[in-house]
A and B are shown apart, each in its own frame.
Chain A
Amino acid sequence: MSRIESVGLVKIEGPLIIMEKTRPVHFDEVIKIFDDRRNEQTGKVLAVDEKHVIAQVFGYTSGLSIKNTNVEFLDTPMKIAVSRDLLGRVFNGLGEPYDGLPQIFSDDYRNINGSSINPYSREYPKDFIQTGISAIDGLTTLIRGQKLPIFSGNGLPHNILAAQIVRQAKLRYSDDKFTIVFAAMGVKHDVAQYFIENFEKSGVLSNVVMYLSLADSPSVERLITPRAALTAAEYLAFDLDMHVLVILTDMTNYCEALREVATSRGEIPSRKGYPGYLYSDLASIYERAGKIKGKNGSITQIPVLSMPNDDITNPIPDLTGYITEGQIVLDRELNQKNIYPPIAGLPSLSRLMKDGIGEGMTREDHREISSQLFSCYSKVKELRALVAIIGEEELTETDKKYLEFGLEFERKFLTQSPNEDRSIEITLDIGWQLLNILPEEELYKINRKFIDKYLKKST
């Protein structure tokens, strides 16, 4: 039952409107806002008190007037229609058709805020996804049902990397294809176009659902985009048993929209102007990844975010890292050395790889070789800092070997072409070749039986 209820506003401030309360109002309910020419925009109720209703407009408040704005209360939370027909469709940031085709025809409407998955009902993710990228498969393994963000910076090739993952990601022992849900927040047209072309090239376009809130659409709309996308993803994964890979780019733009609304409300900011609830808000998005007991599908999330000033301690990457199950960090220095993918070894991490690698899943030596590579590469970093001061001559013979290892690691292990799809065996074998540069005593993290079995072979 909807009806035009409120005529006229009390106040307009940034993306917020405030009106008099003339009837009972639901917290979080959807409203439609009409300007004097009956142009319609969507919004939602943020708070109600004795006299007033505060609402947020997912569009532009410019042009709205105090006197001639009408507001309709819809008695419902924000919902989208779901059906199998979502596949192959393109929607705008609010979940409305953007491809000229009609609305999804379905009477199954889902609240875009979703509900929390009961921790008791979760199934712990364990299935290895081979991305064909050595730095990821070998060192920060992606698992089906994981949320693993890419921390990037302006000008770094995160889009190329994300697209490569989308093209190459597969399970080792099954032919199940991933269904892709792609949500763009505040990215440019050409970036969206790049992804669309990629989906086309790999022949998955009919298996993709897109939500595009591009750079020229109103910023507040971005608060809806990832939620609409994840609602679609949940439907595909948990109702239709699909394995869904969700790309959310760029979460930094999302967070900025959130900050904009918080500032307009005059909320007390915590760090860098972001609201104190940024953590919980991001968690309500990222925690929608996972697997559920008794259901076949899964949601794997790859959020992409650009770190302002390449600063990993900025609240956006920082709070993301506190929620997600690891992170893939791109490094400007590697990029300048022309290394693709420029994945920084040390700060990157996959927390779920522990149960998804090893015998029967990848290979028995995977765990030990990856932790050995990490610790050797970290020694390389230390030594490089030392060499910068004292020069290479002062180093011991072993240390010099480490430097050689470092160069080869970057040249052979990290570096690969955006079209190169390496099997996990190849990745691990490259690892052994590199470790062969070092004296055997240095490989203290590796069990002797693997050294005998693999190291000798790789010479």
Chain B
Amino acid sequence: MINSVKGKIISINGPIIKATGMDEAGMLDVVNVGKNELVGEIIKLDQGIATIQVYEDNSMMETGEEVVSFKRPLSVLLGPGLLEGIYDGLQRPLKDIANMTGCFIQPGVKTYPLDLKKKWHFIPILNKNDKVSQGIKIGYVEETELIRHFIMIPPEVKAAKIKSIVKEGDYTINDTIVVLDNDQEIKMCHYHPVRRSRPYLKKLTLKEPLITGLRIIDMFYPLAKGGTAAIPGGFGTGKTMTQHSLAKWSDADVIVYIGCGERGNEMTDVLNEFPKLIDPKTNQPLMKRTIMIANTSNMPVAAREVSIYTGITLAEYYRDMGYAVAVMADSTSRWAEALRELSGRLEEMPAEEGFPAYLPSRLAEFYERAGLINTFNNEEGSISIIGAVSPPGGDFSEPVTQHTKRFIRCFWALDKNLANARHYPAISWLDSYSEYLNEVMDEWYKIDSDYENIRTEALTILKTEEKLNQIVKLIGPESLPDNQRLILLTAEMLKKGYLQQNSFDEIDMYAVPEKQIYLLKIIIEFYNLSNKAIKKGTPLVKIKELKIIDEINRLKSTISNKEIVKFEEFLNNLRSSFENLLNIYT
């Protein structure tokens, strides 16, 4: 078997180069390109000429330089030590790069994705003579205070018996911990090709909500664990803020945050903030469950294309350990643009707006890697994907948004007007949708049996308001009868006191499910009581004079997640103030 093939560069067109003498190289092989040994991947082979996509800045690369293929696909290294890391699109630790080349990234740096020297305390689960096959857990290490990292038999290893397994103790990722009876050695780490999804037993129907702490999402347009969601919106409408908020507060076990073609400072923000944020359930810093992939807008475009696959492969690895993983990709549009740019340089026939015809199938493949599955250990693991979409001009009819819609089931549409009015999160309650309602309903019932009722009532009020506003635009609000003006008033309260949720407000930035339910119950109760009062002849102005409206609008930031009992008190006060009012007017 040949283990390397050497060729010569004959043409260079930005990150796309061609090399001759590559007859024996394989499609999708990783290659070292040029004297700086930049990382590349073969994307086309034609009569000994390989077309190669280069993942690092190749300015000053010269024709005639050498290309070497090692006959293996582009892969990531999987093993303990991934969490809390920040990598570029090719799984190079940005921290190590900074140590080697300073604050500016230089092409050609060689780093190793995981710490080779670090000793991990390995605890075996299996014994000599136990039968194993791909995906089976053989032991674990405590990777962080939050995540127990299970060492599994790598995919595609043939079923065998354990010939020997090491005792509990400290080992590096390169130490052999298991030998199988076919003499294959198993270590704590292994490589996996990024473009191939990891195998699992079977896909399952989704059944649990991913609780995000954002009211408009959890209550109105919920995402299920294992589901897919898109957040489209023009610049500055709140995609990144929403993604950050989900990365902080959603109840996934592991977060993979992919900054794909976006700002450097946003990654720095996460790096600064997450180690300081304490997970309310475990009292540990949120960073301990987070992996970051940062391929910012000024980093090489081709690596941006890979970063998405790198991220999702890491996510699959933790899913296979039985965890609920959430992947945030900000922004999938930049990834699609990378495809477009590379496709243009390959002189492929473009479809819509210059995007290649395979854009939809690539999107489908990516979102298809989400889901709730049975692992080979017969446990459940899931990947939820939340992709930001950045449509040019904020116009949702463009190809990336349109095609994405075909493959996701939860759509959180950001609205420029809401963002301009500083109504955050600027998720439109009219244009968004979720197809996961049935899947998550059972879990919500366990929290409160009123979930569906209050949700429907609130949505009805918001939709009716939209219609009434059309009339108001023609004749003004003064001429509406009191019961309709009550709808306008309640819709206003829903917006101010419920849908708006400020990410910078210590108390309001995330809400536990009980708080979400109570807040909505209070507003709906206010509506129903007022309606009754109006029917009995109380003028709306008198209700407004109760001053309780302002109080309700502020409840979200006056009563914290830990003071749920106060909501019950408030509800009682609300009822009694209406009783008093009714006593006067009947």
A111 to B71, CA, bound (A): 35
Within 8 Å of chain B (Cβ to Cβ): is A352? yes
Within 8 Å of chain A (Cβ to Cβ): is B269? yes
Q: Please, which residue of chain A has its CB at the minimum distance from the CB of B347?
A: A268
Chain B residues with CB under 8 Å of A325's CB are 263, 265
Chain A residues with CB under 8 Å of B502's CB are 371
Asked whether B98 lies within 8 Å of A120 as measured between CB atoms, the reply is yes
Within 8 Å of chain B (Cβ to Cβ): is A14? no
Asked whether A295 lies within 8 Å of B392 as measured between CB atoms, the reply is no
Within 8 Å of chain A (Cβ to Cβ): is B441? no
Asked whether B353 lies within 8 Å of A271 as measured between CB atoms, the reply is yes
Chain A residues with CB under 8 Å of B496's CB are 444
**Count of B interface residues, CB-CB < 8 Å:** 77
Type the 1/0 row for B487-520, where 1 means its CB is closer than 8 Å to any CB of A: 0000000001000001010000000000000000
Within 8 Å of chain A (Cβ to Cβ): is B472? yes
Contact residue among B104, B265, B478 (Cβ-Cβ distance under 8 Å from A114)? B104
In the complex, what's the smallest C-beta–C-beta distance from A290 to chain B, in angstroms? 6
Chain B residues with CB under 8 Å of A346's CB are 420-421
Contact residue among A77, A267, A313, A389 (Cβ-Cβ distance under 8 Å from B59)? A77
Q: Please, which residue of chain B has its CB at the minimum distance from the CB of A447?
A: B557
Within 8 Å of chain B (Cβ to Cβ): is A333? no
Asked whether A374 lies within 8 Å of B297 as measured between CB atoms, the reply is no
A 24-50 contacts with B by CB, 8 A: 24-29, 47-50
Contact residue among B13, B18, B353 (Cβ-Cβ distance under 8 Å from A270)? B353
Contact residue among B57, B62, B296, B420 (Cβ-Cβ distance under 8 Å from A115)? B57
Q: Please, which residue of chain A has its CB at the minimum distance from the CB of B301?
A: A280
Contacts A117-B104, A118-B103 given; indicate if A322 touches B390 (C-beta within 8 A).
yes
Asked whether A115 lies within 8 Å of B473 as measured between CB atoms, the reply is no
Interface centre among B64, B94, B264, B299 (most CB of A within 10 A): B264
Interface centre among B10, B61, B476 (most CB of A within 10 A): B476
Asked whether A25 lies within 8 Å of B63 as measured between CB atoms, the reply is yes
Asked whether A77 lies within 8 Å of B105 as measured between CB atoms, the reply is no
Contacts A47-B12, A374-B422 given; indicate if A313 touches B299 (C-beta within 8 A).
no
Asked whether B341 lies within 8 Å of A313 as measured between CB atoms, the reply is no
Interface-located stretch among A121-129, A207-215, A216-224: A121-129
Chain A residues with CB under 8 Å of B235's CB are 318, 321-322
Within 8 Å of chain A (Cβ to Cβ): is B121? no
In the complex, what's the smallest C-beta–C-beta distance from A408 to chain B, in angstroms? 19
Q: Count contacts between A and B, CB distance < 8 Å.
A: 207
Within 8 Å of chain B (Cβ to Cβ): is A284? yes
A270 to B340, CA, bound (A): 9
In the complex, what's the smallest C-beta–C-beta distance from B50 to chain A, in angstroms? 14
Asked whether B504 lies within 8 Å of A354 as measured between CB atoms, the reply is yes
In the complex, what's the smallest C-beta–C-beta distance from B479 to chain A, in angstroms? 7
B 243-270 contacts with A by CB, 8 A: 259, 261, 263-265, 267-269
B 269-319 contacts with A by CB, 8 A: 269, 271-272, 294, 296-299, 301
Chain A residues with CB under 8 Å of B474's CB are 389-390
A238 to B104, CA, bound (A): 11
Interface-located stretch among B131-139, B371-379, B546-554: B546-554
Chain A residues with CB under 8 Å of B420's CB are 346-347, 378
Within 8 Å of chain A (Cβ to Cβ): is B401? no
A355 to B411, CA, bound (A): 30
Contact residue among B269, B395, B504, B550 (Cβ-Cβ distance under 8 Å from A313)? B395
Contact residue among A50, A77, A351 (Cβ-Cβ distance under 8 Å from B11)? A50
Chain A residues with CB under 8 Å of B267's CB are 119, 122
Contact residue among B353, B354, B394, B475 (Cβ-Cβ distance under 8 Å from A394)? B475
A346 to B97, CA, bound (A): 41
Given contacts A27-B14, A270-B340, 18 further A-B contacts (CB under 8 A): A24-B64, A26-B60, A50-B11, A117-B105, A121-B102, A238-B103, A268-B354, A276-B340, A277-B301, A283-B296, A283-B297, A313-B392, A318-B392, A319-B392, A321-B234, A386-B476, A389-B473, A444-B554
17 A-B pairs (CB sep. < 8 Å):
A26-B60, A26-B62, A29-B60, A117-B105, A119-B259, A120-B271, A121-B104, A122-B264, A271-B353, A271-B392, A283-B261, A287-B296, A349-B236, A375-B421, A389-B473, A394-B476, A444-B553
Q: Ordered nearest first, which 6 A-B pairs have the shortest CB separation? A: A394-B476, A313-B393, A283-B297, A378-B421, A121-B103, A321-B235
Where the two chains meet, the residues of B that have a C-beta atom closer than 8 Å to any C-beta of A are: 10-14, 18, 57-64, 86, 94-95, 97-98, 101-106, 234-236, 259, 261, 263-265, 267-269, 271-272, 294, 296-299, 301, 334, 337, 340-341, 344, 350, 353-354, 390, 392-395, 420-423, 472-479, 496, 502, 504, 547, 549-550, 553-554
